[in-house]
A = this chain, B = another copy of it.
Amino acid sequence: MIQSMNATIKETIDRCRKAGLRRTKALEELLVTLTESLRPMTLNELATSARLSDQCDKATVFRLLQRLSEHGFVRRLGLHERAAYFTLILPNKHSDYLICTSCGSIEPINAPCPVHQLEDEIRKNTGFRNLYHELEFFGICPKCA
């Protein structure tokens, strides 16, 4: 059992349980890692992270991410790298990202997202369901410039 498990993580595990997932050590550690991470992570980063590297196999992490995606707890992001990135979806939380194309750093943008209105229009005009968006800014960060 993980010591410093805060409320958010407990809730997330709870939601996973209700969705039918079993409470395994690997699941817990993965959720903690994703929660603690300030940015999306790749499968490889996750599988080799402190919490997970000696906890379980990469295939397990892959399958956990797959299950979590199916249930909408995790989202897969394409951020221009060859590898896919994964991020936890928390209720009422949305992040856009600022990415340096030179060093690859990824940081969430705190500014209010300006896209919601357009998203509503699209939902109304096109009849798309389950609509969400992904917004990323790319550029060269001051350090790399």
Residues of A within 8 A of B (CB): 76-82, 84, 98, 100-101, 109, 111, 114-115, 117-119, 121-123, 126-142, 145
Docked Cα-Cα span, A122 to B121, in Å, equals: 25
Flag if B142 contacts A138 (CB, 8 Å). Answer: no
Q: From A81, which residue of chain B is reached at the shortest CB distance?
A: B78
Q: From A117, which residue of chain B is reached at the shortest CB distance?
A: B114
Shortest CB-to-CB span from A21 to chain B, Å, is 21
Chain B residues in 8 Å Cβ range of A126? 98, 141-142
Docked Cα-Cα span, A135 to B123, in Å, equals: 15
Flag if A142 contacts B128 (CB, 8 Å). Answer: yes
Flag if A135 contacts B109 (CB, 8 Å). Answer: no
Most chain B CB neighbours (cut-off 10 Å) among A81, A100, A115: A115
